[in-house]
Amino acid sequence: GQQVMQIPQYQHVQEGEDFTTYCNSSTTLSNIQWYKQRPGGHPVFLIQLVKSGEVKKQKRLTFQFGEAKKNSSLHITATQTTDVGTYFCAGPSGNTGKLIFGQGTTLQVKP
Amino acid sequence: SAVISQKPSRDICQRGTSLTIQCQVDSQVTMMFWYRQQPGQSLTLIATANQGSEATYESGFVIDKFPISRPNLTFSTLTVSNMSPEDSSIYLCSVGLSSHNEQFFGPGTRLTVL
């Protein structure tokens, strides 16, 4: 069945360093979504990418959607302690409205 | 967007008992979903709650264990039946406003089964 894989599983960085998480789908996606879950919290939607090769920025966060619409990345420039949490990518499962989530990347930032 | 509340926020239950989790949305939505999240793990979809019909369950989840109700477009319940310690997890409901858009999650119910 459809799978969404994410690496790395964990990343520890010093505050101010950059961070990147990568997401790969076993199938072509109509869109890719990114969510952030703070420790003890629930997933919160960050962004959706739809077009092949699309790049979107939110302040220090840069999101990319691959040309083949099967992979994506999230890059954080100059991490801050507020960036701590788990970042999930998710792709839709057909037209059902269901999402297939990646395993998530947990980011720890040392001050 | 949508604002979602869940009750209870947490509970500690004895094995063999059942717990019903409620999910309330501040607007009418077509799609509601129930997820399970083990500590440190990703989200696993349990079922899609369909208004006016039976829920659609994912592989590995059955109605007898996780009965779901969806009486209207703003409310759903998930029951965890005949609980065992392996059911200890966070249960999250979410809503989707369309088939290709983002989902909004409730705060979750943290369940511990002794």
Residue pair B37/B89 in contact by the 8 Å Cβ criterion = yes
- Over residues A13-70, the pLDDT tens digits come to 999 999 999 999 999 999 999 999 999 999 999 999 999 999 999 999 999 999 999 9
**In chain B, positions 73-112, which contact chain A (CB-CB < 8 Å)?**
92, 96, 98-108
Q: What is the mean pLDDT of chain B?
A: 94
- Over residues A71-96, the pLDDT tens digits come to 999 999 999 999 999 999 999 988 78
Interface check for B38 against chain A (CB to CB < 8 A): the answer is no
pLDDT of A45: 95
Q: How confident is the model at residue A97 (pLDDT cuts 50, 70, 90)?
A: confident
Q: B100, A95: Cβ pair inside 8 Å?
A: yes
Mean pLDDT in residue range B25-42 = 93
How far is it, in rounded angstroms, from Cα A101 to Cα B57? 17
pLDDT of A99: 93
Q: How confident is the model at residue B97 (pLDDT cuts 50, 70, 90)?
A: confident
Q: How confident is the model at residue B1 (pLDDT cuts 50, 70, 90)?
A: confident
pLDDT of B54: 86
* Intra-chain end-to-end CA distance of chain A, in Å: 41
Is residue B99 scored above 70 in pLDDT?
no
Is residue B100 scored above 70 in pLDDT?
no
Phi, psi of A26, rounded to the nearest 5 degrees: -75, -15
CB pairs under 8 A between A and B: 47
CA-based nearest residue to A65, from A102, A25, A94: A25
Dihedral angle at the C-alpha atoms of A10, A15, A63, A84, nearest 10 degrees? 50
- Mutation pick from B32, B58, B92, B103 vs chain A, by most beta carbons of A within 10 Å, is B103
How far is it, in rounded angstroms, from Cα B102 to Cα B55? 20
